[in-house]
Amino acid sequence: MPALLPKVALAVTASLLSLGPGHARPPSVLTAHTLSSPMAGVGFRGFPPIGALMWQGANGRPSVRLCSAAAVHSPGGNLIVTAAHCLRSVRTGRGPLTVAYVPGYHRGTMPYGYWIPTKIIRATDAESSPDPDRDVAFIVVAHAGSAERLESITGAEHIGTAPAAQSFGVLIGYPNAAAGPIACRNRIRYRSATQLEFDCGGFSAGTSGGPLLTDVSRSTGIGTLVGVIGGYQDGGYRSSVSYSPVFGPAITALYSAACNAG
């Protein structure tokens, strides 16, 4: 039985092992009404709106992978979403205990540069006593080196609400033990009225905050965001089962606050 570890990356020495040759996009994972087979995440080159959340090094550049994240549409065009538990003790700006967002990260490359947090929007109890049903955080980011808007470069996912039970979804995340992201297509289940469940292997440490999408474009990776890996058991203690809070009124209110913040 695998060790029961949350899907946030706790070790800073995780090796980056390849899952195999990368694809321009997962060839069958996004095909309508086609389940992944075997039911495990497929390694691929990634999509522009989805990336890795990494600790900053001494020079402010991304250093060690922490979690996964995705750009989400906002009026300001500089908003990303991840799991709130990924941001315990994380600060904004540069320096110790700060992170950077790297969209499209693959095999050590940063095709769209890296982005620094300027504001973090999460539930008020996210640090002291996190609520699994509100384990979502939004981050306003700024491009390191220019005034460009993230969304104008990578595109962004569209915020959604609670999906229909048994509808098809695509889960994407950055396992620490892989050189790039993995994707899997399966039906979305409800563990409870407030928690989604997605069964697929390979979503281990580092995938927390990864997006759960419906109606995904094969060419851009843009779809409707209906969840992020988090919530119950910090997203799941087994790599074969992932959870997400349902996007209900509390998370919708967080998103609105994030849009107003920039």
Residue 2 placed within a domain: no
**DSSP secondary-structure letter at 112?**
T
The average confidence (pLDDT) of the chain is 87
Structural domain span for residue 100: 50-156+251-261
**Quick one: pLDDT band at residue 25, thresholds 50, 70, 90?**
low
Token pair belonging to 56: 């900053």
Q: How many residues does the chain have?
A: 262
Q: 226 and 202 share a domain?
A: yes
How would residue 23 be classed by pLDDT, with cut points 50, 70 and 90? Answer: very low
Spatial contact of 91 and 56, defined as CB atoms under 8 Å apart:
no
Q: What is the pLDDT of residues 42-67, one digit of tens each?
A: 899 999 999 999 999 888 889 999 99
Q: Is residue 148 part of a domain?
A: yes
In which residue are the tokens 């203690």 written? 237
Looking at the structure, do residues 149 and 64 belong to the same domain, yes or no?
A: yes
pLDDT digits (tens, 9 = 90+) for 172-224: 999 998 999 999 999 999 999 999 999 999 999 999 999 999 999 988 999 99
pLDDT at residue 218, as a whole number: 87
Assess whether 164 and 196 both reside in one domain. yes
DSSP 163: P
Predicted confidence at residue 126, as pLDDT, reads: 64
Look at the chain and report how many structural domains it folds into.
2
Is residue 163 domain-shared with residue 213, that is, in the same domain? yes
| In-domain check, residue 235 | yes
Of all residues in the chain, what percent carry a pLDDT higher than 90?
72
Would you give the DSSP letter of residue 156? -
Check whether residue 189 and residue 210 sit in a common domain. yes
Do both 147 and 78 map to the same domain?
yes
Domain presence at residue 13: no
Residue 23 falls within a domain, yes or no? no
143 lies in the same domain as 68: yes
Backbone angles phi, psi at 49, to 5 degrees: -75, -5
163 within a domain of the structure (yes/no)? yes
**Does residue 11 belong to any structural domain of this protein?**
no
Q: Are 223 and 215 in contact (CB under 8 A)?
A: yes
pLDDT at 97 over 70: yes
Instruction: Inform me whether the pLDDT recorded for 163 exceeds 60.
Output: yes
Average pLDDT over residues 154-177: 96
Same domain assignment for residues 116 and 185: no
For residues 143 and 162, state if they share a domain. no
Are residues 121 and 57 part of one domain? Answer: yes
The pTM score is 0.90
| CATH number of the domain within which 166 lies | 2.40.10.10
Distance between CA atoms of residues 256 and 181, nearest Å: 28
Say if residue 184 is in the same domain as residue 206. yes
Q: Report d(CA 256, CA 46) in Å as an integer.
A: 28
**Is 192 found in the same domain as 132?**
no
Q: Note whether residue 243 is domain-resident.
A: yes
Q: Write down the H helix ranges in the chain.
A: 150-154, 249-261
Q: Which residue has the higher pLDDT, 35 or 77?
A: 77
